[in-house]
Amino acid sequence: MLILTGPQGAGNHLWSKIFSLHPEVFGWETLLDNYWEAHRFHEPFCKCWRNHDLLHKFDWSQSDYFFTSISAPLGIFNYDNNPIWNPDIIGFAETIEELDIDVDFAIIGRDQNILQYQQKRIRDGLTLPIFLYELEKICTNYNPKFLSYELLYLYKADYLKSLNFNIPVAYDSMHITEILESDANTKYIHSVPSSPLDDGNKLGIIFKENPLEDKKD
């Protein structure tokens, strides 16, 4: 099983589509037919994330390869209407291993400034520190691999070819182009007419200090 996790707004749904494309992978199939779905209601293992004991009752004969995703924290409100719910990621992974199923971790990332804008807009505050706390525990217990939102859009199928997980990746799927058609980073990025470093690039000027930093009195 590949467990995908990361901070809110880092592209959980995007990557879930990518890793659910391969026909041999049991993943988030319904998401492939919709632009977006709520994780807590529609992700195939959503109930198991709330109750790890359900993993023992799951029909593992459906495939040799499984994919699941979770963000930390998850959503704005949990089922008890509390502000956030932080999933027990390590507990979930350990339960999977108790079933003699190999676990691999994929950690998704995105530009830190965009994450800050997105989380403050949707979550009314920065939730990244919550995930960084979880990441420390994941790195202590496992050897996760890290994924880049920006590299996916920049190199597309060539980037997907380079990935090495315990499930097959459909890097040659005809749906990759469709999934990556719209880069959500675009709405956060704006061009600047000039920068102090431009002259240095053109004329070979040496800057002993960063000309972009605000100077303190």
Query: Would you give the distance in Å from CA 81 to the centre of its chain?
Result: 25
Q: Is the dihedral of CA 84, 47, 37, 28 positive or negative?
A: positive
Query: Would you give the distance in Å from CA 121 to the centre of its chain?
Result: 18
Give the residue-averaged pLDDT of 120-124: 81
User: What CA–CA distance (Å, rounded) separates 20 from 26?
Assistant: 7
128-141 vs 89-98: helix axis angle to the nearest 10? Answer: 30
Mean pLDDT lowest for which of 28-42, 56-70, 159-173? 28-42
What mean pLDDT value characterizes the chain? 90
The pLDDT tens digits for 68-94 are 999 999 865 444 545 567 899 999 999
- The pTM of the full predicted model, rounded to 2 decimals, is 0.88
Res 57: pLDDT: 97
Question: Band of the pLDDT at 196, cuts 50, 70, 90?
Answer: confident
Res 76: pLDDT: 58
Res 13: pLDDT: 95
- 63 Rama class: left (phi>0) / alpha (psi -120 to 50) / beta: beta
The pLDDT tens digits for 45-61 are 999 999 999 999 999 99
Degrees to nearest 5, angle at CA 18 with 161 and 104:
75
Give the residue-averaged pLDDT of 103-122: 94
Question: Band of the pLDDT at 36, cuts 50, 70, 90?
Answer: confident
Res 5: pLDDT: 98
The fold for domain 2-190 equals: Rossmann fold (3.40.50)
